[in-house]
Amino acid sequence: MSYSTAGPSRTVTLDDVRGAQKMLSGVARVTAMEGSRHLSQMVGAPVHLKCENLQRTGSFKLRGAYVRIAGLLPEERAAGVVAASAGNHAQGVALASSLLGVHATVFMPKGAPLPKVSATREYGAEVRLYGQVVDETLAAAEEYAAATGAVFIHPFDHPDIIAGQGTVGLEILEQCPEVRTIVVGVGGGGLVAGIAVAVKALRPDVRIVGVQAEGSAAYPPSLAAGHPVSVPHPATMADGIKVGRPGDVPFGLVRDLVDEVRTVSEDQLSAALLLCLERAKLVVEPAGASPVAALLGDPHAFEGPVVAVLSGGNVDPVLLQRVLRHGMAAQGRYLAVRLRLTDRPGALATLLGVLSVVDANVLDVSHVRTDPRLGLTEAEVELHLETKGPEHCAEVNQALRDAGYTVMG
């Protein structure tokens, strides 16, 4: 699904982005741009991946955080800074503060992935775990700022943050001057707004496409209403773009400068993450894979050359495992089946023999003998299989039925 955008209001300029680029020299990496043969074949034009997943701290967030904190007055730096985040912004603020010699306190939800909490501490921030969701964490950080005088560093709703993120756009134009379309994941809107400011000022012909997860897409209704509106209960695996309301500052820029905002499903996000890992050999978090998901969902909608911004690579290993299985299942490469068999010696070996004949790779076997639903001589088996695609899945199910098994799921 896609939505057109249009309107007036600018709070960040090309000069701001260029100033941020100078400030970030030697701090943020000029990240690589990699071509994707697989995506290029699908789209019918060259597709390049802008690898912000390889940025310091694993995402683009360092850019904006550093520019924002570096712009503070001496007395503001002395008071320290505070932020709220479940991951990427937390790490960006932590490293930026450490590099600038500013004390940082970062509030994170109690359920934040342990690797992200550990990384934030290792970058030098004081971490406080508070609340179950980011909204509660955000409120705690704002209360802390009011009580202590620490400067609150918003993840996207500030001109300095947007100017810092906009340096990604300048790098894209330098690395791929022939670009025609730039595809960017969108949460609060800081990254896409910054890229749009830089790119539209220099190349107004380049099309900027934002991408949101369907369950957390606040921009489409906001653009329709003409002002930021909230999504009551945002839900998506892509926590990096799981934002319930657009920022006031980026909203105006997105409305003015971004050509289109698309939405993608959870299945498309899973498939995109799997593609990045298998084809591009890049570890990308679901939010970072959202531009690739948009290309997979409607490959002929994008004029090439296309640059897809892989905004981050900080994926929780447990989530990565789940997402990869989900992505494989969506492609027909992972099959779970449940069936009953007679509980006698050799019954399981016979079943596995049937699967061996059709070349299904058994990943996991769960064997249940004691359950009120089962007869005295019955056992229930659940099998997780690696398969070669939808046709192979159908072949496996048919082979089981032909062997006399009743497949329940």
Count of alpha carbons within 13 angstroms of residue 208, beta-carbon side: 31
Query: Look-up: residue for tokens 């830089």?
Result: 198
- Residue 316's φ and ψ, nearest 5 degrees, are -65, 130
The answer to whether residues 229 and 218 touch, using CB atoms and an 8 Å cutoff, is yes
Instruction: For residue 335, list its beta bridge partners.
Output: 385
User: In sequence order, which residues have a C-beta less than 8 Å from that of residue 364 and are 6 or more positions away?
Assistant: 383, 384
**How many whole angstroms separate alpha carbon 352 and alpha carbon 83?**
54
Do 190 and 156 meet the contact criterion of CB atoms below 8 Å apart? yes
Is 311 a known active-site residue? Answer: yes
Catalytic residue chosen out of the listed positions 36, 50, 61, 216? 61
Non-local (6+) Cβ contacts of 170 within 8 A are 17, 18, 21, 198
Amino acid code (one letter) for 342: T
Active-site entry in 216, 222, 290, 311 = 311
What is d(CA 101, CA 123) in angstroms, rounded to the nearest whole number? 12
Catalytically active residues are: 61, 311
